[in-house]
Homo-oligomer: A and B are copies of this chain.
């Protein structure tokens, strides 16, 4: 009755009408749409055994409960919050508690969540070493989710919710299933940029929610940059007073930041803040005198400013105090220190900088001055006991780094970034890939496929080098996105990156992915995220534009139907009966 299905790619191909209007252009390629034997699972777990035996879930009596043996009890609010969230995803209409009625069919009455290690880590922050593994066994009358830590339980709850579907009559159903799962990479990040456009808190929260559905675990918060400084610093309040787009409507207060970090923690997501220096700092200069380098036009200052001034002691005093604050505000063990795209022209124009260069024996090699700055900055941050991430330029320029530094690769074409990954890991550093996942760059058609095909371990290197790849990050830089368009532009395109970073490296059948992703996208829409369509078609529960702020903590779902979404191009009469995963 139970067949092992791990990574076979049997595809029940369906002949579909290809309803394209091609406009004389031929660049749009659609994958073949079929049924995935994995239903709507996204990202695909490491090992799935699914049976055709289906059970019902009673809206009156089904519960998610702590297993008796669990090391984590009713006092773990992280889990209690998660139970409530997933209960509402599965049963969007509120329901009363009641007794199980005598039934004529087999059902799953409970999902028991069993934290197996003595320390559940319920009250911790997630970290780079957090164990996210879990095992899920769905049977009648009881389903069991076992995980060493709460982090795995969160991932398993999402998976459980993705297994639930509706039969033809709308009854919640789930098949007998065994899943063993763990992430391929420990760092699965998403970068959002709140400087080029201010992102309202609720946009950030909505996207943290969607990240959890896609098993992302790092929110890389590119919080400040040239255009604006929305981070409200307690130590240097003038930074946002002067540098934000508006001193109180366009800032993140300390309590906003705390709330975002806690919202993320409850979903097993780390918040890694980026305070990029010495470039990308125009907005810093507005509220901090003498921090930036005065540029010269001939013999006199031009009135404009360049990167952070690396030759003044006051610069380092400022950075020491600033990063001391940042290290307490953001609990994560890592800070992203930037270090990218330093423009040397202003430094070159400044006579004091020139003098300093001569004194230090740097000649005219301004990358040495950059390294001088970064080196001192890293020493400062090291005293806060934080690890750091930096963009690839820092290592390209030969700065000495701590062994646990993460190098963030973002430049070049495929050949170039693969060579960089090889170089970085050959030097013994850990690497993180973003180049193929700059999702701000859009193009017509199904560009999720290109993101899906990229693999951070695709480069020439030894096994030891490959092990130094900790993962990757999807990036959505902010030039062309704000609250009006960020969310539909990001999802489901980022989902492609989510599966690449979680699932086994052999999970790369684009057709199978397409079938699951269409359903996963409709599920996101049903849960209230306006994820854009992959192609012509419809969802069983279309976007109604009725997401409210309340949704973010306790999602209010629009329709009476459950969490399973339809395939595109299926007739409306068939979609419900086809949602059951096939064997």
Q: Is the CB of A531 within 8 A of B484?
A: yes
A250 touches B478 (CB 8 A): no
A462-492 interface bits toward B, Cβ cutoff 8 Å, 1 = contact, 0 = none: 0000000000000001111111110011000
Within A100-130, the residues touching B (CB, 8 Å) are none
Is A525 positioned at the interface, with any CB of B under 8 Å from its CB? yes
Quick check: is A363 within 8 A (CB to CB) of the other chain?
no
The reply to whether B478 and A410 form a contact with Cβ atoms under 8 Å apart is no
Contact yes or no, A536 B485, CB < 8 A: no
Asked if B196 and A536 make an inter-chain contact with CB atoms under 8 angstroms apart, the answer reads yes
Picked from B20, B202, B228, the residue with its CB within 8 Å of the CB of A479 is: B20
Q: Does A6 contact B (CB under 8 A)?
A: no
Proximity bits, A156-199, B CB within 8 Å = 1, else 0: 00000000000000000000000000000000000000001110
Contact status A572-B245, CB under 8 Å:
yes
A488 surroundings in chain B (CB, below 8 A): 484-485, 488
- Per the bound structure, the CA–CA distance linking A246 and B535 in Å amounts to 18
Q: Which of B23, B228, B482, B544 interacts with A533 by CB under 8 Å?
A: B482
Among A21, A197, A440, residue most surrounded by chain B Cβ atoms (within 10 Å) = A21
Name the contact of A247 in the complex, choosing from B20, B536, B572 (C-beta under 8 A). B572
Q: Which residue of B lies closest to A27 (CB)?
A: B441
> Is A334 engaged at the interface, CB distance under 8 Å to the other chain?
no
Q: Which residues of the partner chain B approach A20 to less than 8 Å between Cβ atoms?
A: 479
Q: Report the Cα distance A19→B24, complex, angstroms.
A: 37
Kindly list chain B residues whose C-beta atoms are within 8 Å of the C-beta of A247: 572
From the candidates B24, B482, B537, name the one contacting A543 in the complex (CB within 8 A): B482
A250 to B536, alpha carbons, bound, how many Å?
Answer: 14
A225 and B19 in contact, given A245-B572, A441-B444, A489-B485 (Cβ under 8 angstroms): yes
Q: How far is the CB of A397 from chain B (nearest CB, A)?
A: 16
Whether A200 lies near B533 (C-beta < 8 A) is no
- Do the beta carbons of A530 and B489 come within 8 Å of each other? no
User: Nearest CB to that of A247 among chain B residues?
Assistant: B572
Interface size class, chain A: 35 or more
Q: Do residues B483 and A545 form an inter-chain contact, with CB atoms below 8 A?
A: yes
Cβ–Cβ contact A443 & B444, under 8 A: yes
Q: Which residues of B contact A538 (CB under 8 A)?
A: 197-198, 228, 245-246, 250, 482
Interface of A is mostly: loop
Given contacts A197-B538, A538-B198, contact A21 B479 (CB under 8 A): yes
Q: Which of A23, A246, A445, A532 has most chain B Cβ within 10 Å?
A: A23
Roughly how many angstroms separate A442 CA and B489 CA in the complex, as a whole number?
12
Asked whether A411 and B542 contact (CB < 8 A) given A17-B226, A227-B19, A572-B246, the answer is: no
State how many angstroms separate the Cβ of A91 from the closest Cβ of chain B: 22
A residues with a Cβ closer than 8 A to B are: 17, 19-25, 28, 196-198, 200, 202, 225-228, 245-247, 250, 280, 282, 341, 410-412, 438, 440-445, 477-485, 488-489, 525, 530-538, 542-545, 547, 569, 572
**By the criterion CB–CB under 8 Å, are A536 and B227 in contact?**
yes
Taking the closest CB of chain B, its distance from the CB of A284, in whole angstroms, is 12
**A484 — which chain B residues lie within 8 A by C-beta?**
488, 525, 530-533, 543
CA A26 – CA B72 in complex, angstroms? 53
Residue in A226, A485, A547 with the greatest tally of chain B CB atoms within 10 Å: A485
Min Cβ gap A525→B in Å is 7
State A228–B17 Cα separation when bound (angstroms).
11
Tell me if B572 and A532 are in contact (CB < 8 A). no
Set of chain B residues within 8 Å of A282, measured between Cβ atoms: 17, 19
Q: How many Å lie between the Cα of A532 and that of B196 in the bound state? A: 13
How far, in angstroms, from A536 to B245 measured CA to CA in the complex? 11
Chain B residues within an 8 Å CB radius of A198? 538, 542
Closest B-chain residue to A17, C-beta based?
B282
Shortest beta-carbon distance from A156 to chain B in Å: 28
Kindly report which residue of chain B lies nearest to residue A530, judged by CB atoms. Answer: B484
Whether A544 touches B485, Cβ cut-off 8 Å, given contacts A226-B19, A444-B441, A480-B445, is no
Contacts of A534 in B (CB 8 A): 480
Residues A200 and B544 in contact in the complex (CB < 8 Å), given A226-B17, A246-B572, A479-B536:
yes
Chain B residues with Cβ under 8 A from A489's Cβ? 485
- Nearest chain-B residue to A531 (Cβ)? B484
Q: Which residues of B contact A532 (CB under 8 A)?
A: 480-482, 484-485
Listed by A's residue number, 15 A-B pairs whose Cβ atoms lie within 8 Å are: A21-B280, A23-B441, A23-B477, A24-B411, A202-B545, A227-B537, A441-B444, A442-B442, A479-B536, A480-B534, A482-B542, A482-B543, A483-B530, A485-B488, A488-B488
Known: A23-B410, A23-B438, A482-B533; 17 extra A-B contacts, CB below 8 A, are A17-B227, A19-B196, A21-B280, A23-B477, A196-B536, A196-B537, A197-B536, A198-B538, A246-B538, A441-B444, A442-B444, A443-B443, A445-B480, A483-B544, A484-B532, A485-B485, A485-B530
Q: If A227-B19, A245-B572 touch, does A533 touch B410 (CB 8 Å cutoff)?
A: no
| Chain B residues within 8 Å of A245, by CB | 537-538, 572
- Whether the pair A533, B480 counts as a contact (CB closer than 8 A) is yes
